[in-house]
Amino acid sequence: MRKWSRIITLATLLATPALAQSTIPDLRGTWKGDSESIIAGTGNKHHTAAAAQDTPEMRSMSFTLVIDKQDGRRVSGVFSSARTSQALIGVLSRTGTLLAVDKDGYTFGTILSPDQLELCYLQTTSDGRVASCTELKKQP
């Protein structure tokens, strides 16, 4: 009987989501960082190619994320570079992953620490593709 008790206790502990055990982090504020990106074709508004490229190009760009609204696990804000800005909306999963979308692409985020966030972005259009990760630091 003891064996089953231990198995049930262990299974219960393993099945409990990580975020459910802790408080939801406050992501509101300004975050800044530089991307590591690869583009093909025409890229996108942040990473534009002079002409459509068949060969992928490595790019880097400074970005700012401003999260101005948060209600529990739901967030909204603006992701911008020197070239353009895009509104985004997102949710924080119970495992701590930030899932966000703008008008034409998807972002997957990982909270690295209370003041560090990594966002990875994917976009594909008929003219171009972008894959990019940006490590952002929360500004004081």
Q: How confident is the model at residue 10 (pLDDT cuts 50, 70, 90)?
A: very low
Q: How confident is the model at residue 135 (pLDDT cuts 50, 70, 90)?
A: very high
In the CATH scheme, what is the code of domain 25-138? 2.40.160.90
End-to-end CA distance of the chain: 55
| CA separation for the pair 130, 120 (Å, rounded) | 10
- Is residue 89 within 8 Å of 101, Cβ to Cβ? yes
Q: What is the pTM of this model?
A: 0.77
Average confidence (pLDDT) over 61-90: 95
Return the pLDDT at 3.
54
Average pLDDT, the chain: 84
Structure-model confidence comparison of residues 118 and 54, the more confident one:
118
